[in-house]
Structure 1
Amino acid sequence: MPFGCLTLGEKKDYNSPSEVTDKYDLGQIVKSEEFCEIFRAKDRNTLKMYTCKKFHKKDGRKVRKAAKNEIMILKMIKHHNILQLVDTFETKKEYFLFLELATGREVFDWILDQGYYSERDTSNVMRQVLEAVAYLHSLKIVHRNLKLENLVYFNRLKHSKIVISDFQLAKLENGLIRDPCGTPEYLAPEVVGRQRYGRPVDCWAIGVIMYILLSGNPPFYDDGDEDDSDSRDKNLFLKILSGDYEFDSPYWDDISDSAKNLVASLMEVDQDQRLTAQEAIAHEWISGNAASDKNIKDGVCAQIEKNFAKAKWKKAVRVTTLMKRLRASEQGDSAAAGLAPGASADPNTPGVTPAAPAGGGGLLAAAIKAGLSEKASDTQTATMSALSLPSAARQEEQQQSRCNGDIPQVLPPRKGD
């Protein structure tokens, strides 16, 4: 084709807002997540109910990229344990994703409502999660943010299936991935250590989920000052790097050796030695009769309420704050447009993040090496002082930027990156 026949900057075809509202009746906002709003929606013709996720383009490039990424990934997926994409619209101002509506409860809430809860119940949950993840991995898709909040029962029937949701951070494994991504408590050692990683990170997260469901406790925690979040996060990442967790008494006294073996195989620090999702499905605790029928509800529920009730409340507050900041970022971006690259800005201005200091890669390498090879307390103290990690609240707010190729704030960049 002659050059003169090329059409540059072709106009994009957008849906009109009326196309969305003519087909669906959008209800009130159910909740606000990090980068989108969740609605209940009813198909005006079939009267069937769906979940609608609305992403506002004005909230920034990262939000737009998250919406397009989730649409791309979900269009590739069809599995009975994954919440299915039904419809999409793109207007000039928004992205709309319509998905199946899961009316059941989160796994935590389901456990608390049971009169009897055993390893066998956990095994049934984990089997479904593993089957879904094995399917994703067969397509070379890495979820990258598997956690208990993303596992829900599809409906409230007694034998409802489990479904996995939230694919905003999922990624195709075209070569190994570098950018850190996910919820801090579920991060695999290779993500924390800024190594290249792939599908094994999902298997590590499944091991963390299984650990929590069997004991009610997180595998990695710090008993330090609750107000000193920086110190607690440093300790958390150090423990993850070295796989420093235990099957503590009395919480694990009634748990079978087979269950402990599977957890340990999924939470293997060396990603090359870690069990794959397909291998975990074949484990006797999942496919055989090794899971105990003993009632462990009282112990698990007591620890869940102790460890996670406050965390869910804190997350709700952080999400509300984050949405306000995202909405304010339009004004912040406009105000900062006249600044030269690297110019300073008021750190108290909404939507403005102070620049991180450069350097630190050499300290990181020494810190990780020391943390993995030494057990002495003075070595750990030196390691923690070398690491520069954000607080848990800032990590959650920075999560999306780390997943879009920006310089991650979890750990300093390594030399040569």
Structure 2
Amino acid sequence: MGNVCGSKSEPSSTMNGNSSSLPSKQVAEGGFARANFIVDNTGTLTDFYDLEGKKIGQGSYGSVSRAINKSTAAVRAVKTISKSHVKNIDRFKQEIAIMKMLDHPNIIKLFETFEDHRNIYLIMELCTGGELFDRIIEVGHFTEVQAAIIMQQILRAIYYMHENHIMHRDLKPENFLFSTKEPLEKSCLKIIDFGLSTKFGKDDIMTTKAGTPYYVAPQVLAGKYDESCDLWSCGVIMYILLCGYPPFYGETDADVLTKVRLGNYTFNASDWKGISEDAKDLIRKLLKINPRDRYTAEQALNHLWVRNKAPKAKGAPLEGAQIENLKSFRSQNKLKKAALHVIAQQLPDEEIEQLKQIFISIDKNGDGQLTVHEIIEGINHADLKEVPENLAEIMKQVDADGSGVIDYTEFIAATLDRKKYIQEDLLWAAFRVFDIDGDGKITRKELSQVLHNGTVSDLVEGHLDEILGEVDADGDGEIDFEEFVTMMRKQ
């Protein structure tokens, strides 16, 4: 069934046009965010990537293909968006800006973008496990444990998004991909489409009708809603996972929407007889007609059904080696810290699986961000001899954007093992992010642009002086690849 409605029409523009009105993450002065390293390239895509002819996905916007990075051999997914098929480029600009903001294990990673006169290209992580929708079709319905594994990942991602003031507005099984073809117990689930997502403020009421009939909340149809619309969609998804069909069904979109408005559904005795009361209770709490009574993502994650049925994070506790990496991260110069962020972002899930599991196990409330208190708990739980005295100062250095919490990529960057990040292909990928014009040298201006979005201040100038003083061995005022590699490999 089609969408209820797209987003409101806005004036068309190019990708590299005015971005002041686009959503972005607040960054403290002198700090940097993951978005700094997701480059909007003006070069030709095929200069950097070999595209495979076979399409792995198709939509009204264009297509998705596999691509291989020519310099690093990394395999990526390329989403090609045909400008002629897009009524409003601004919607895609908003989608890209939101993807740049989001940093969570259950959200698809965007690496970079390209644009030419015909298309916009999004270079993203490649997920090979297919849509959640296809797995539902394949198995009919899931066991409660399997459904809880899926719902826990969805709810974590939504909790994180809502904490960062982003609502999705189009949650449905087609918008989730499994990272690998392994059984779902071993494959990470990722949200993949942010075309209808939007930033919201406290007490904001949205009016744009957006979403898909089976999954849309009654308040969206009425044109007066908030982020709780996403939790309604979660309730519908959970219902489908457990019985194989939607709670609001009709022969036409109009029939479905009539049932959604009334909010009437049943647990058919023959299909639901083996399913626990806890599961039904959570569905009821997510499908409350009144959004004020509806569970939040945090409440849903803490519901007995999720806590009892979804396995606990299997991550080992923090180890001494990771604490040592955190300590040494603090003393690195700003360029090396930033390069470690780029590398952490580029590494595939399987390379950082242990660190990902540690992050999830330390993140006690499941909001996708670590507080100093959660890190201390993680250290205590690990039976390490002592909490480093200067832990608060270490955390301040790890918190690159100054948000007061440690984001996923910030944690990976600061705990990454040296053996992982000194590989030449990864170092080249990181160098390329800073070498904006691709001439093989990083200039002071390029450093300023990537690390500080071109901001000029005494603090920024001091950072640049320090980096060049330490890294520019031949004193020519620029950093070449050899100097960059020396900096990264220095103990």
Question: TM (normalized to structure 1)?
Answer: 0.61
Cα distance in 1 for partners of 2:95, 2:310 equals 37
CA distance in 2, matches of 1:107, 1:15: 32
- Quote the offset at 1:42 in angstroms: 1.0
1:35 alignment partner in structure 2: 61
Asked if the contact 1:185–1:220 (Cα under 8 Å) also holds between the matched residues in 2, the reply is: yes
Read off the aligned partner of 2:230 and give its amino acid letter: D
Instruction: Tell me whether 1:183 sits opposite 2:209 in the alignment.
Output: no
Deviations along 1:307-332, whole A, 9 cap, x unmatched?
xxxxxxxxxxxxxxxxxxxxxxxxxx
Letter in 1 for 2:239: Y
Equivalent position amino acid for 2:112 in 1: D
Output one character per residue of 1:134-176: Cα deviation in whole Å (capped at 9) or x when no partner. Answer: 0000111011110011122111234111111111111111422
Give the drift of 1:37. 1.7
Is this contact kept in 2: 1:15–1:91, CA < 8 A? no
Unaligned runs of 5+ in 1: 1-10, 227-231, 292-417
Q: Give the fraction of aligned pairs with identical amino acids, expressed as a percent.
A: 36
* 8 A Cα contact 1:67 1:95, kept in partner: no
**What are the within-5 Å matches in structure 2 for residues 131-150 of structure 1?**
131-150=156-175
Q: Secondary structure at the match of 1:278?
A: helix
**Residue number among 236, 253, 276 corresponding to 2:256 in the alignment:** 236
Deviations 1:69-119 (A, max 9, x none): 111100001100111111112223321111100011323444566699510
Aligned equivalents of 2:226, 2:246: Cα separation in 1: 23
Distance 1:191 1:100 in 2: 31
- DSSP-derived class of the 1:251 partner: helix
Structural mapping, 1:7-26, within 5 Å: 16=42, 18=44, 20-26=45-51
1:36–1:55 contact (8 Å) kept in structure 2: yes
Could you tell me which amino acid in structure 2 is paired with residue 58 of structure 1?
A: S
Q: Secondary structure at the match of 2:64?
A: strand
Q: How do residues 357-376 of structure 1 correspond to structure 2 at under 5 angstroms?
A: none
Inter-CA distance 121–188: structure 2 relative to 1 (3 Å threshold): same
Measure how far apart 1:16 and its partner are.
4.9
Q: Compute the displacement of 1:290 (Å).
A: 9.1
- Whether 1:160 aligns to 2:208 is no
Give the aligned residue type for 1:43: N
- In 2, the alpha carbon distance for the partners of 1:116 and 1:188 equals 23
Letter in 2 for 1:125: I
- CA, structure 1 residues 12+248, in 2 after alignment: closer, same or farther (shift >3 Å)? closer
Does the residue aligned with 2:269 lie in a helix, a strand or coil? coil
State the alpha-carbon separation in 1 of the partners of residues 244 and 139 from structure 2.
Answer: 15
Distance 1:235 1:221 in 2: 7
Query: In structure 2, what is the Cα distance between the partners aligned to 1:115 and 1:205?
Result: 19
Q: How many residues align?
A: 270
**Cα RMSD for the two superposed structures:** 2.4
Q: Are the aligned partners of 1:211 and 1:263 in contact in 2 as well (CA < 8 Å)?
A: yes
Which residue of the partner structure matches residue 307 of structure 1?
Answer: none
Question: Secondary structure, in 3 states, of the residue corresponding to 1:89?
Answer: strand
**Which residue of the partner structure matches residue 199 of structure 1?**
227
Partner-residue secondary structure (3-state), 2:190: strand
The Cα offsets for residues 350-404 of structure 1, whole Å up to 9 and x where unpaired, read as xxxxxxxxxxxxxxxxxxxxxxxxxxxxxxxxxxxxxxxxxxxxxxxxxxxxxxx
Give the corresponding residue for 2:274: 254
Task: Report deviation, 1:31.
Answer: 2.8
CA distance in 1, matches of 2:62, 2:92: 9
Instruction: Name the amino acid aligned to 2:269.
Output: S
C-alpha separation in 1, matches of 2:144 and 2:241: 9
SS in 2 for 1:92: coil
Cα distance change, pair 116–73 in 1 and its aligned pair in 2 (3 A): closer
Alignment check: 8 A CA contact 1:102 1:155 kept: yes
Partner of 1:3: none
* Alpha carbons of structure 1 residues 290 and 71: separation in structure 2 relative to 1, 3 Å: closer
2:215–2:232: 8 Å Cα contact kept in structure 1? yes
Where do 1:15-414 residues align within 5 Å? 16=42, 18=44, 20-28=45-53, 29-62=55-88, 64-110=89-135, 117-158=142-183, 159-174=186-201, 175-194=204-223, 196-222=224-250, 226=251, 232-289=252-309
Compared with structure 1, are the counterparts of its residues 35 and 115 closer, same or farther at alpha carbon in structure 2 (3 Å cutoff)?
Answer: closer
The unaligned stretches of length 5 or more in structure 2 are 1-15, 19-39, 312-491
**DSSP-derived class of the 1:73 partner:** helix
**Residues 77, 238 of structure 1: alpha-carbon distance in 2 compared, 3 angstrom cutoff:** same
- Maintained 8 Å contact 2:141/2:244: no
The 1:84/1:241 distance shift into structure 2, 3 A limit, reads same
Alignment partners' CA distance in 2, 1:213 and 1:202: 17
Q: Which amino acid in 2 is paired with 1:166? A: D
Tell me which amino acid in the other structure corresponds to 2:164.
L
What is the TM-score with the length of structure 2 in the denominator? 0.52
CA distance in 2 between counterparts of 1:85 and 1:286 reads 29
- Residues in 2 aligned to 1:178 and 1:215: alpha-carbon distance in whole angstroms: 32
Q: Which amino acid aligns with 1:191?
A: V
- Structure 1 residues 46 and 290, CA gap change in structure 2 (3 angstroms): closer
